Structure 1
Amino acid sequence: MTTILDVQQLHVHFPVSSTIIRAVNGVDITIKQSETLAVIGESGSGKSILGLAILGLLPANCTANGIIQYRGDNLLTLPESELETIRGREIAWVPQNPAGAMNPLMTVGNQIGEPISLHIEKDKNKVRKKVLELLQFIKITPPEERIDSYPYSFSGGMLQRSLVAMGIAGRPEILIADEPTKGIDVMNKQAILSFFQTLHEEGITLVIITHDLLFARNIADRIAVMYCGRIIEIRRKQEFFNEPLHPYSRGLLRSLPENGLYPIPSGTEEIGDDGGCKFRSRCTCATERCREEPQLITLLEGSAVRCWLYD
């Protein structure tokens, strides 16, 4: 597969009082064209910040360094005017919390149509026709009635599907979705899964940021695990769920209901601490060597893991 996005040594730091929060701390990851990559990990691991950094949507109070290579350009160094031509058209973002992400003063149809009118088509009638097609695709019916509705009249599942429609409206090459199944019921989750599977079949590159391991297992080609701002494991989906490498990954899978709901032990490591393996205080395999920071070790068949057990 051809590489479509190459992230190298990405650092995103937030100054807080007398310390620095290293939300993303030296991430290296290559995303292949037309693949679906699921980025998993607990809250605060840096998953959403990684996605926002790719889009250039980081808050003003942080610093971002490294390389995010896309079509010969480092997205971190592009001026805002050039990023605006990429966002929504070539790389799109589906935010989490649909109730907060939608503008309550605009109709859902106008919000879905905005990327189309910005990047593809100026004719209002043609934009409206495309929005009706998208509403039909995401199964919000009858589209002729719903297109002029406001967000307050939509359920959580309908709003989530509307955000997906907004994301794909500009026909992007890459779609980054942040927690697309958060807070929705089983039926809507199945609908979201079906939409993403269709997008995958159409060749769109998908980056799915999620806590939902079962959703990741159903949708992903590869799994990337983040912990304390770092990628600690990258593997093909089947290999990951059959035999995870990193002790943290094993703990995540053991915590699933089907595996007995075994919790990962609590620990004291902080994301602002830059010394050694961040998981060592919670790890049953920890040794003195874990006081040194392990590198991401490349293994056979494209797998990689950040753990001294594999050095």
Structure 2
Amino acid sequence: MDISKANFGILDGQEVIAFTLVNDSGMSVTCLNYGCIITKILVPDRYGKMENVVLGFDSVEEYLQHSPYFGAVVGRVAGRIKGASFELDGESFQLTANEHGNHIHGGIKGFSHVIWEAADFQEDGEIGIVLTYQSPDGEEGFPGELNVKVTYVLTNDNELRISYEAQSDQKTIVNLTNHSYFNLCGDLKEDILNHQLTMNSQAILELDEQLLPTGQVLDVEGTAFDFRESRLLKDGTFSTHPQNVLVGNGYDHPFVWNEQEERVITLVDPESGRSLRVETDQPSVVVYTSNQLEGDFHIAGVQARKYLGVCLETQGYPDAIHHSHFPSIVLEKGERYRSTTTYYFLAQ
């Protein structure tokens, strides 16, 4: 196993460092101390060919100009917060409004656009990076000084484990996720519409016209949202279900689990033989098929376009602070937020 570092650029006078973790079978994960961004994950196909299975850029400038959160840790709160405001114990907090009057993914900078402190480590059968950030009281409008730690661990079983911890000196709200766009074809040779997705979720959260949860929970039975048996992602692009049409013909929805359901997601690309198994302790996952990914730019030489990647954003329910029947994302003073999501890469 090996860890290497390389200069990835300079941002506001600070060095952006790319850390590359390599296990004994040659799988590698590259991440930055900027935004905790995962830029590359190299895994073998069924013939042993190593290729990148996430969307990412080769320079800091491209991330600044074009990235829709490629590979980044987003927070303090992932997803949208209605009206860019919320109340805690009768006190109102006004957040940065960075999307149609709402707050999304932590604000203009959030956690995805700052330099984190980073340190690498190696233990028996594991290597990793620990990234820490101290978010000051009032940053993007959130109360409390929040100390955050994100740990990336690579094992010899081709397993990438992402652990999150956070603690605040005031009552606040926290909901963290990683926003990687996966494409198991490798090196963006094809889009993800022929990927097969399976997960034991019986319900999604209904979205309104601003893509905010309405508070209603919809049963997936008989719809293109039913992934309890393996289903092609392209099914969502052809579906006439109002929720598929609403998000640009595809998926951009929180799938939710009850406490008894196994929180496992499996993504398979039959062509390459690659598969990804995701296990999480979070109550929901936002599945986003990059329906809005368009623009006059390239990603590793490939023109940006819809359906080039799929995000599997494990997290608490979006906008939970405005829906009392959703699992709470309130973090009490001194309490420790913890969450872990593990990604297993296989070749079949």
Q: Structure 2 length normalisation: TM-score?
A: 0.22
Structure with greater helix share of residues:
1
The answer to which structure, 1 or 2, has the higher relative contact order (CA under 8 A, 6+ apart) is 1
